[in-house]
Amino acid sequence: MLKLNDVHTYYGNIHALKGISIEVTEGEVISLIGANGAGKSTTLMTTSGVVPAKRGTVEFNGEDITHKAPDDIVKMGICQVPEGRRIFPYLTVAENLDMGAFLRDDKEGIKQDLDYVYGLFPILANRRNQTGGTLSGGEQQMLAISRALMSRPKVLLLDEPSLGLAPIIIRQIFDIIRKINEEHKTTIFIVEQNANLALKAAHRGYVMENGAITMTDTGENLLANEDVKKAYLGM
Ligand code: ATP
C-alpha cells in the first residue's frame, strides 16, 4: 500500500535519510524504532510530503507521491499525527474533531465516526466542550489521534505517540491503536522510541540507525532479537 524505495532526504547539507526502503501492506501495523535523531520523524515527514525526498520514491497504492503537496497526500488518505500532538488549543474538543473532518461532506459518515471516536475515548466525550489546551497530555494525544481518524484515513502515521506520557496512559493509547487497526481496518505506521510497546503493537517492525534501516522482521522476532534487546529494550 505504501512503499518507500531507496529514499534519501536532506535538511540542507544534513543527509537525514540515507537510502531507506520500507513497505507497509494494507491492514498492517508497522513500527519504526530507533534512537534520538535516527531519522524516524523525517521518515514520516517524507511520507507525508512535508520534507520531500531528494532521491528515491514514495508510492501509495502504486502511485508515485514523492513530490506531491502535503494537502494532496492528506486528500489521498494519508494522515499524520505529528510529534507533540499540535491540537488547536483554543478550540473545544468537539471543534478540534470537526476540523479533522473538514475535507468531508458526508454528514452521516462524519456522525458515525464521531460516535466511534467518542466510544474509543469516552473521556473526550465527557470533555467535548472543554478547550484543547486545557486537556492533559494523554487526553491531547487521544484528541490528536481522534482528529486524524475524523478524516477517515487509509493510513495513519503516528509520530511518537508515547512522548511525555505516563506509562499507564501509554499502554492505554497503544491498546487503542491496535483496536483501531482491528476494528476500522486502518493501516498504521508508528515511529516510536518506546521500542517495547511499539513492537508489541506491531505486526512488523523496522530498526533505524543514523538514517539507515538496519533490521526488519515481525514485531515478535524483533522483541526476541538479542541486539534489539540490548540496544532498545534495556536488557
Ligand atoms: P527524535 O526521536 O529525537 O525525534 P528522530 O529519529 O525522529 O529523532 P529526526 O527528527 O528525523 O530523528 O532527525 C534526523 C536527523 O535530521 C537528525 O540528525 C536531526 O538533527 C536532523 N534534523 C531533523 N530536523 C531537522 C531540521 N528541521 N533541520 C536540520 N536538521 C534536522
**Phi and psi, residue 130, nearest 5°:** -90, 145
Q: What is the pLDDT of residue 234?
A: 79
User: Distance, CA 49 to ligand 1 centroid (Å)?
Assistant: 16
* Closest C-alpha to ligand 1, atom 16: 16
Hey, what amino acid is at 23? E
Is ligand 1 within 6 A of the CB of residue 34?
yes
Q: Tell me, what DSSP letter sits at residue 4?
A: E
Would you state the pLDDT for residue 192? 94
Identify the segments of the chain with pLDDT beneath 70.
Answer: none
Query: Which pLDDT score is estimated for 82?
Result: 83
CATH number of 2-83+153-232: 3.40.50.300
CA-closest candidate to residue 7, choices 40, 55, 51, 52: 55
Cα of 121 from ligand 1 centre, angstroms? 31
Pairs from 133-139 (Cβ < 8 Å, separation ≥ 24)? 133/87, 133/89, 133/90, 135/87, 135/93, 137/85, 137/164, 137/165, 137/169, 138/165, 138/166, 138/169, 138/172, 138/173
The residue extents of the domains of the chain are 2-83+153-232
What per-residue confidence (pLDDT) applies to 186? 93
Nearest CA to ligand 1 atom 3: 36
- Rounded Cα gap, residues 131 and 91, in angstroms: 5
Beta-strand relationship, 29-34 and 55-60: unpaired
3-state secondary structure of 86: coil
| Residue 233, pLDDT score | 87
Backbone angles phi, psi at 26, to 5 degrees: -55, 130
Q: Is the CB of 14 under 6 A from ligand 1?
A: yes
pLDDT of the residue at 20: 97
Q: Which residue's CA is minimally distant from atom 23 of ligand 1?
A: 42
Q: Please tell me the number of Cα atoms within 13 Å of 204 on its side-chain side.
A: 12
pLDDT at 54: 97
Å from CA of 64 to ligand 1 middle:
25
Q: What separation in Å is there between the alpha carbon of 23 and the centre of ligand 1?
A: 21
Residue type, 234: G
Distances (CA, A) of 43 to 20, 32, 128, 147, 202: 9, 9, 33, 22, 17
13 Cβ below 6 A of ligand 1: no
The span from the CA of 43 to the CA of 159, in Å, is 10
HSE at residue 57, side-chain half, CA atoms within 13 A, is: 9
Read off the pTM. 0.93
d(C-alpha 110, C-alpha 6), whole Å: 37
